[in-house]
Amino acid sequence: DTEVTQTPKHLVMGMTNKKSLKCEQHMGHRAMYWYKQKAKKPPELMFVYSYEKLSINESVPSRFSPECPNSSLLNLHLHALQPEDSALYLCASSQVGFRNTEAFFGQGTRLTVV
């Protein structure tokens, strides 16, 4: 099973709202990622967790707050977003180790900020 599950599939939120995106995988992967994808662009890396610790933050604004409660779950907490933050948010996971770094993506959460 190479499935990464993301919820919700769609989310509309106001600029003063607080919401969370959730991601779950049961492949035993110990690296998990958040990517942001705008229309007709490739995914852009936001955060990487390795062994449940944040290893990469690509200078993402603090209105995005990641959390990795355990090896299977990854959350992205959203607060005071701007309309330009509207995008497809993708979660991915991979193994950690030599030659095992292929990443599997979820179907994404399509976020609209109004």
Partner 1 sequence: QKEVEQDPGPLSVPEGAIVSLNCTYSNSAFQYFMWYRQYSRKGPELLMYTYSSGNKEDGRFTAQVDKSSKYISLFIRDSQPSDSATYLCAMSGGSNYKLTFGKGTLLTVNP
66: which residues sit within 8 A by CB, 6+ positions away? 34, 46, 47, 49, 54, 74, 75, 76, 77
Pick one of 42, 53, 59, 70: the residue that binds partner 1 (CB under 8 A): 42
**Binding to partner 1, residues 60-89 (CB under 8 A):** 88
Decide if residue 43 touches partner 1 (CB under 8 A): yes
Q: How far is the CB of 16 from partner 1 (least distance, A)?
A: 27
CB of 107: closest distance to partner 1 in angstroms? 4
Residue selected from 41, 54, 57, 77 as contacting partner 1 according to rule CB under 8 A: 41
Q: Which is nearer to partner 1, 15 or 56 (CB)?
A: 56
Among 56, 61, 77, 114, binds partner 1 (CB under 8 A): 56
Question: Do you know the residue count of the chain?
Answer: 114
Distance in angstroms (rounded) separating the CA atoms of residues 66 and 52: 11
SS3 call for 22: strand
Residues at the interface with partner 1 (CB under 8 A): 2, 4, 6, 31, 33, 41-43, 45, 48, 50, 55-56, 88, 90, 92, 94, 96, 99, 101-108, 110
